[in-house]
Amino acid sequence: MNTRFPFRLIRSTSLAAFSLLALVFLSGPSVAQTPPSPWTSSDVIQPEVLAKLLAGAHKPLIFQVGFEFLYKQGHIPGAQHTGAGRDADGIENLKNAVSKVSRHRQIVLYCGCCPWDHCPNVRPAFLAMQQWGFKDVRVLYLPHNFDIDWMQKGYPTEK
């Protein structure tokens, strides 16, 4: 009778388990993992709330910090396109656009290129605005994209 068999099985199983644990712990955060949001719930504005603000006398400044082709397809009335927030040029354009704006002015940032939790543009733009000292910056919550969450719901849009 071979008494080595159980030891080989245990050794190979232990090696596989150790390899898996090492891979999990040493690989670091996953590429697909989204970092925590830099904003609080009070920094987020819902589409229906922004649509009501647009109908009022005191409209916020609105910046589309996404891709130009999406802006050209349709955007929130009065929104200024500053370039993609993920790019240095987009952040520089945003900085220039707000350079003479009061740090207490209400500002709304939005992108709408893709699902909210995958957007590469809103987070860097929001962080930059905080770094520059703006106190009333909100991000428009578009869970799917601008088309589904704004345009298809009949909110005001211009081209």
Query: Cα torsion at 121, 122, 125, 130 (round to 10°)?
Result: -160
The β-bridge partners of 143 are none
- Residue range 81-124, pLDDT digits in tens: 999 999 999 999 999 999 999 999 999 999 999 998 999 999 99
Between residues 86 and 1, the one the model is more confident about: 86
Distance of CA 120 to the CA centre of its chain: 5
Tokens coding 41: 């719930």
- Indicate if the pLDDT at residue 40 is higher than 80: yes
How would residue 38 be classed by pLDDT, with cut points 50, 70 and 90? confident
Cα 117–Cα 121–Cα 123 angle in degrees, nearest 5: 65
- In this prediction, residue 1 carries a pLDDT of 54
56-60, 74-78, 124-128, range with the lowest pLDDT: 56-60
Domains identified in the chain and CATH numbers = 41-151 (3.40.250.10)
- CA distances, 107 to each of 87, 103, 139 (Å): 20, 10, 8
Residue 29: the pLDDT is 43
Q: Averaged over 136-159, what is the pLDDT?
A: 97
The pLDDT mean for the chain works out to 85
Mean pLDDT for 24-32 is: 42
